[in-house]
Amino acid sequence: MLRKTLAGISVAGLLALTGSLAHAEFTPEIVSVGKLAPADPYRIYLSDVAINHIVDGKLHVIDGKNMHYLGMVATGYAGQSTLSPDRKTIYVATTYYSRLNHGERTDVVDIHDALTLAHTGEIVIPPRHAQSLNYKGTIRTSSDGRWLFVQNATPATSVTVVDLAAGKVASEVQTPGCWIVLPAAGTPGRFSTVCGDGTMLTVTLDADGKPATQKRSAKFFDADKDPIFIHGEQDGDVYRFVSYGGDLYTANVGGETASFEAPWSLLSAGERKAGWRPGGYQVLAEHKASGRLYVAMHDKSYEGSHKNPAKEIWAFDRASHKRLGRVPGSNAIAVAVSQGEAARLFAFDAVKGGIASYDASGLKPLGRIEGVGDTPNLMEMQ
């Protein structure tokens, strides 16, 4: 009996000691929002419409220097994202339904801090924002950061102008038959849009954000014979586009009416015969200081192959129109390049779901990150 009592006391003491030790070692976790390291020119913002679960789109934030994942911003139903001119704020135009994928529709511009990725506010907008794949130009800011331009499609096309300083919608500009927003750099209250008849419509706003003038340009491409990809690369008031057939088009949107330079070919006669053509979604990237252009290219093209992944990426000199080099294309459907010195070229691999990195000058492969996103098709650099 005494032995059982002593054993019981020993067990009880051990349990008490274990319990007190466990209690002493337990430290409650404090939930907080971490900060990302300061952004460098190699940070990538990868827009992912997530077609297989489109109510749950994402903006992936990636360290393109070390090729690792940093974080994610939720973008809702077919959300469209862009950065502020100072690159400190992320704007997302998106849709929320009261029953996830149906019910009452609410469209908003969600606002996020680009340092923490935290949600900091929202602005309700008309329920007409374009529920489309991600393209640069479905949402853009003015060059001074005051206005936010949101592409609408019902399917009738228009642009919602948001006054970011006042936190409210300023106007809706009707743009029938025209698509994508191309803000001017020199005049913050001005943007152009590409029209289906091969012209551009330029809209100039008044001080209240309402349309003061709308002027059509001359025709600069033939949509029936050789349409352009809607992705344009901006350099000040100048935008550059490539056509399905492999020509480079240049538009200046600085004036009340857009003007254009003569197009030039990316291809030799032999390359055209071999069926080389641009392909993908974000098919063109431009390094402004060096004047280098990068184009995602595929061979053996055919009617409808304009979305095919790149077999190669070609580099061109903007001034001389000469090709500087070519490199295996990493199955790219999107290409982007960092600005500044020691630039890097990035290519989203649609087949393997990764991002390849190259030295933008010599086109030497530098590294990859795998397994990024569901169905991304657009990269924006810091």
Q: If you write DSSP's letter for every residue of 135-187 in order, what string do you get?
A: -TTSEEE-TTSSEEEEEEESSSEEEEEEETTTTEEEEEEE-TTEEEEEE-SSS
Give how far Cα 300 sits from Cα of 45, 246, 303, 339, 349, Å.
Answer: 32, 13, 10, 32, 19
Phi–psi pair at 18, nearest 5 degrees? -60, -45
Total-model pTM: 0.91
Residues sharing a CB contact under 8 Å with residue 305, sequence separation 6 or more, in sequence order: 277, 279, 298
Sheet of strand 178-183: strand arrangement: 178-183, 190-195, 200-205, 211-216
**What integer pLDDT is reported at residue 3 of this predicted model?**
46
Residues paired with residue 172 on neighbouring β-strands, in sequence order: 160
**What integer pLDDT is reported at residue 259 of this predicted model?**
98
- In which residue are the tokens 């499609």 written? 153
**What integer pLDDT is reported at residue 17 of this predicted model?**
47
282, amino acid identity: Q
What is the mean pLDDT for each group of 10 consecutive residues in the chain (382 residues)?
A: 44 50 72 82 98 97 97 98 98 97 96 96 98 97 98 97 98 98 97 98 98 98 97 98 98 98 98 98 98 98 97 98 97 98 98 97 97 97 98
